[in-house]
Structure 1
Amino acid sequence: MSTAAPSSRAGSAGRALSRLAVLVVDDFSNMRATLREMLLTSGFEDIDLARDGVDALEKLERRRYDIVLCDYNLGDGPDGQQVLDRAREQGWVGPATVFVMVTAENSNEMVMGALEAGPDAYLSKPFNRELLVVRLQRALRRREPLRQLDGYWRHGDRARARAEAERMLEAGEGRAPDLQRLRSDLALAEGELAVAAEAARAVTGDTTPPWAQVRLGEVAEREGDLAAAEEAYRAAIAATPYYMPAHDRLAGVLEQTGREREALDVLAAAVERSPKSLARQRALGRLALALGEYDRAARAWRRAMALAKQMQVPDPGDLAHQLEALIARGATREARTRLQILENEYRGHPEVTWWVVLTRLRLLAAGVAIDRTGLLAELDAALATGAPPENLREPLADLLDQAGEGAHAGALHGGGTANTAPQDTGDE
């Protein structure tokens, strides 16, 4: 292979590599240094380094990068897939950003996670400087034409971003499939379903991209045609089995049409195929609880709890739902022990008190001796600071009614404390 230095020009717009901002993310200092040296000797000059996923997300929040070169395995915190997912969710990487995933692993979990995240390119270790720059230049040629559109997108100006995409399509600039997908995404976000569907249909053909098939299903679902939505999602899965959003959407439609058992089977298979989606684990846990599959529910919520902590977004609800499954299957002793973890590990979370109270009420309903006076005092103290989260009001009120505490159940809706003194029955 030739060792001549790669061109210092990249992308269809011909911007110098020295002007591109690059973020290198790797948890090994030697690898960070090696990648930085490769980039410097290839013409890049503006290079930042991140030591792990948390550091990477902090840097992505503060600054816009043209290229992100991110290792998949990043130690105990968020991995490369989770960094990309979080950055996209927050709008820290835009349509013009090149995100390259680096990995030395080839496990099924990693491969499926990387496929689901959908970076611009993958690099398997070991690799040399020439291969690195070839992959970067290839991705830059694809992303560079989106730079003007990217600016509007980042500032939340969907109308101008879509107008720019449509102008580029008319002028024949950039890759039409990329522009149609952005146009469809923006139209869907604005509720313009006809435009979203038209953009998806514009890329259909002998090999329809799975996103376009799923988009047609989303449009049908929003229009209330669940049969058409199901057909679209099943078609996407048949054509591209690893495209996981199709599985998630299909499960949602099945649940809406009263086929919860089928929905559970779809989600269970999807989790086996690609287990690193937090939303998918939570959906599986919720549906398994509703169907009385408590062992499966407990496993799903345990995995959700681990993923949320890894992603630095811990939620006491994940553990509380796992305790709900344990209580429902009769493992109240284990649930009481793990309740202490809920209180201690999530201390300071704004919702933890509500989840603790809810779990104690569930234990009380299961016949476990609970300090009722202390429990209701804790509830009153929480109500004094404000109403519970909307998703907890109904289960709290139902359990309070079961416990004969109608006044407290009413207080949940009124936002105040109950005036009825609690009865002392079997305090510990």
Structure 2
Amino acid sequence: MQDYANRSANLGANLAANLSVLVVDPNPGMRTSLQNMLNQAGIGKVEYAVNAGTAIKQLGKRAYDVILCEYDLGGPAGDGQDGQQLLEDLRHHRLITASTIFIMLTSEGVYDKVVSAAELTPTDYVLKPFTTEMLGGRIKRALERRTALLPVWQLAAQGKQFDAIRACTTAAIASPRYALDFLRLKAELHVSVGEHGDAAAIYRKVLAERPLGWAGLGLARTMLAQGQVEEARATLEQLVQANPRLMAAYDLLARCHEQLGATADAQKVLEEAVSISPHMVRRLRKLGEVALENGDAEAAEKSFRQVVTKARYSEFRNPEDHVNLVRALVTRGDVAQASGVIRDLERSLRGSANADACKAYSSALLHDRMGNTSAAIAELANAAGAARAGSGLSSNLRIGLAQACLAHRMDEQASNVMLSVAHDVASPVTVDQAMNVFVRAGRPDLADGMGQQLRAQAQILLGVADEKRNMGDVRGAVQTLLEALHIAPGNLQVIVAVAGGILRQVHELGWDHALGEVASEQIERLRAMDPGHPRLTALIAELQQAKRKYGISG
């Protein structure tokens, strides 16, 4: 415990002496004022960004200890992202870490903006005008908390989650002022390694003492992760009633409704959340998607129009937002506005394969609505070709594109698009779900053909993995095996190879929780599919030996 306290104190002293600050503010007078305040507080390493785009470029090159960000970044003309939208991008794209101190500065007292910024958990939210002492005090308190938590964050960043969990217990004793922070962090670490029951026990312990919103939300997340969807829904409904501004609870509640098949209820929950906090782009996008699924084209159009408008100045604009807006407009029969959206997409996002695919797909939707079948077929061919060349397109868009191709008997293009979905390891769509797209379209022959191709490709990947392993590239071999597993999840040969390859890597390079979970799952799958398999007993023994070696419970 004393070692931890000493280490934290040393870290705090070193960081205070070398604190780096990024000021994000379009106003030169305010930048100068903040520079003077920071200098008076003993902070000399100050850099500037005049807007969100500049800030993202700078954060892509280096990290800062503190970010002081003006909320109203767009200035009087409103021609740019605001601070809330910037923070949303930084969190989502992981350009800042848990240890980054982010302080929002604003004179805006508008309720919905304050809620929208606060739900993204900036470290602090400071209303203008403020004094040097006030700003310095806020930074000092944030730095003290960061110093206490930093050793645990560093262990987690190094992939040492179990060490980080143990460190939380020690650190809470050394720094009782932050005991709740360490409990919360410990629960999140348990979740990160799949120990949802341990996390739930912590959340329940906290809730037994104090009805804290984050603990209720965390408990609901563990329930959902364990398949207890009804229990999670009930917990979240009570949580929202007691904490109507806990915005993440609405998002999770909507997901519960979706999993229970109640998409109308999901839409209602998201609409309520948007009415409270109307500036979160990703929630607006989700509301649009659910509304489209429910056939509510009017609500979908309203949401996607806001998404396109709010994301206009983001460095991470997504051309799929334009596609979804076109879908809503075409469904409503508004071809004139749909044409305008397509022109905007072409003008503002040209130059990437993804944008080309989205533009061609949107044009095909419009031509279909107008009865121009030959033009629609030509644009679908363009979209399918661009989708194969691009990367990062969502599975939902590619599935929609494949379905449109199937509707026009464009079998080859549909198969190629769905193969790209099947090969995407990051996709939430399984191979069975991908092939079911063909089955639902009345084309089981295409599903069979796709299955044959994937099985043949999996065999090739097994050979590539063998070559990598023979060359000493154990990690590379495992990654290739995981690709084979993704495209052929029910193949016994692949299952055995994946489990064995992971255990070999663990033996040579150390325990990796995520891979260990995959190995356990594949061994259990092998047991279910072929309990007499000659490799099963040996694989079970290897896994148990690895867990004992690295002190892994279970």
Q: TM-score range by the shorter chain?
A: 0.7 to 0.9
In the other structure, the counterpart of 1:7 is none
In the other structure, the counterpart of 1:129 is 132
In the other structure, the counterpart of 1:186 is 189
What percent identity do the matched residue pairs reach?
Answer: 30
**CA deviation profile, 1:161-181 (whole Å, cap 9, x unmatched):** 333223213545551111111
- Amino acid across the alignment from 1:305: V
Pick the aligned partner of 1:119 from 122, 128, 138.
Answer: 122
Pick the aligned partner of 2:286 from 266, 270, 283.
Answer: 283
Mean CA deviation greater in 275-284 or 198-207: 198-207
| Equivalent residues in 2 for 1:115-264, closer than 5 Å | 115-264=118-267
In the other structure, the counterpart of 1:419 is none
In the other structure, the counterpart of 1:401 is 406
**8 Å Cα contact 1:18-1:46 kept in structure 2:** no
SS in 2 for 1:68: strand
**8 Å Cα contact 1:12-1:141 kept in structure 2:** no
User: C-alpha separation between the residues in 2 aligned to 1:386 and 1:311?
Assistant: 20
Q: 1:350 to 1:211 in 2, by over 3 A?
A: farther
Q: 1:302 to 1:224 in 2, by over 3 A?
A: same
SS in 2 for 1:117: coil
Q: 1:110 to 1:377 in 2, by over 3 A?
A: closer
User: C-alpha separation between the residues in 2 aligned to 1:230 and 1:118?
Assistant: 24
Deviation at 1:28, TM superposition (A): 0.8
Mean CA deviation greater in 90-99 or 31-40: 90-99
**8 Å Cα contact 1:22-1:46 kept in structure 2:** yes
**CA deviation profile, 1:160-217 (whole Å, cap 9, x unmatched):** 4333223213545551111111122222222221222223223224532211111111
- Amino acid across the alignment from 1:300: S
In the other structure, the counterpart of 1:375 is 379
**8 Å Cα contact 1:24-1:70 kept in structure 2:** yes
User: C-alpha separation between the residues in 2 aligned to 1:272 and 1:317?
Assistant: 24
In the other structure, the counterpart of 2:40 is 41
* Alignment partner of 1:298 is 2:297: no
User: C-alpha separation between the residues in 2 aligned to 1:78 and 1:376?
Assistant: 33
- Amino acid across the alignment from 2:372: A
User: C-alpha separation between the residues in 2 aligned to 1:408 and 1:379?
Assistant: 9
In the other structure, the counterpart of 2:351 is 348
**8 Å Cα contact 2:357-2:387 kept in structure 1:** no
SS in 2 for 1:204: helix
* Alignment partner of 1:68 is 2:67: yes
User: C-alpha separation between the residues in 2 aligned to 1:218 and 1:376?
Assistant: 40
User: C-alpha separation between the residues in 2 aligned to 1:17 and 1:410?
Assistant: 58
* Alignment partner of 1:106 is 2:109: yes
- Amino acid across the alignment from 1:137: K
**8 Å Cα contact 2:387-2:398 kept in structure 1:** no
User: C-alpha separation between the residues in 2 aligned to 1:63 and 1:381?
Assistant: 37
**CA deviation profile, 1:64-119 (whole Å, cap 9, x unmatched):** 33322221111233322233333334444444433221101111221111221222
SS in 2 for 1:283: helix
Q: 1:11 to 1:103 in 2, by over 3 A?
A: farther
Runs of at least 5 residues in structure 2 that lack an aligned partner in the other structure = 1-8, 421-554
* Alignment partner of 1:81 is 2:62: no
In the other structure, the counterpart of 1:335 is 338
**8 Å Cα contact 1:326-1:334 kept in structure 2:** yes
Instruction: Count the aligned residue pairs.
Output: 406
- Amino acid across the alignment from 2:382: E
User: C-alpha separation between the residues in 2 aligned to 1:19 and 1:405?
Assistant: 61
Q: 1:356 to 1:254 in 2, by over 3 A?
A: same
Pick the aligned partner of 1:311 from 314, 324, 342.
Answer: 314
Deviation at 1:252, TM superposition (A): 0.9
TM-score, normalised by the number of residues in structure 1: 0.86
User: C-alpha separation between the residues in 2 aligned to 1:55 and 1:269?
Assistant: 34
- Amino acid across the alignment from 2:333: G
Mean CA deviation greater in 194-203 or 178-187: 194-203
- Amino acid across the alignment from 1:52: N
User: C-alpha separation between the residues in 2 aligned to 1:355 and 1:97?
Assistant: 35
Q: 1:369 to 1:225 in 2, by over 3 A?
A: same
**8 Å Cα contact 1:327-1:335 kept in structure 2:** yes
User: C-alpha separation between the residues in 2 aligned to 1:45 and 1:94?
Assistant: 22
Q: Give the number of the structure with larger relative contact order, counting CA–CA contacts within 8 Å between residues 6 or more apart.
A: 1
User: C-alpha separation between the residues in 1 aligned to 2:388 and 2:64?
Assistant: 46
Cα RMSD over matched residues?
2.7
Deviation at 1:405, TM superposition (A): 3.5
- Amino acid across the alignment from 2:116: G
**CA deviation profile, 1:303-352 (whole Å, cap 9, x unmatched):** 11223333321111101111101111111233234322223322123322
